[in-house]
Amino acid sequence: MDTVVRVAVIYLVLFAIFRVLGKRELGALTPFELVTLMIIPEIVSQSLTDHDSSVTNAIVGATTLCLLVFATSLLTHRFPRVNALTESSPKLLVAHGRILEANMNVERMSPDELFSEMHRAGVARLEDVEWAILQSDGHVAIIPVRGVGVTAPSGAMQPAG
């Protein structure tokens, strides 16, 4: 039972850390940040098993972790309040061609990052953006003003004719 409790505690701590980090950071990790995240298992591995390297203990730990992930998924699916606690909601970054600075600051997103996302979506000017929404997965959805021609991002196929 000791391994189950240890894994559950580490799971909850990591869950809280990733929730605090925010969706933007997880959606756009730099190579250094990815490597840093990969170090976490090495840091916590010994504390998970209390220095017990037996196969049985490893199976108990892995099974506990998988069950916790499954339980979290099930609870977020069945109960809207749990879902609201575990998942972030989309955040409006641009409305009618105007940057919503308060929302940008909450999400720790710079205007340069926003403009990069706009250009990736084929929108050149801020005035041509009806809505820009930071999705729960960290990606930015750019909805252009109606009637504005969106240029295809580089490498995209152009329609014939």
CA distance 146 to 75: 39
Query: Percent of the chain, pLDDT > 70?
Result: 74
- pTM of whole model > 0.75? no
Main-chain phi, psi angles of 58, to 5 degrees: -65, -40
Q: Which two tokens stand for residue 73?
A: 């998924």
Query: pLDDT tens-digit profile of 105-149?
Result: 988 889 999 999 999 999 999 999 999 999 877 789 999 988 665
Q: For all residues of the chain together, what is the average pLDDT?
A: 78
Residue 42, pLDDT > 80, answer no
Domains and CATH numbers, the chain: 2-86 (no CATH), 91-144 (3.30.240.20)
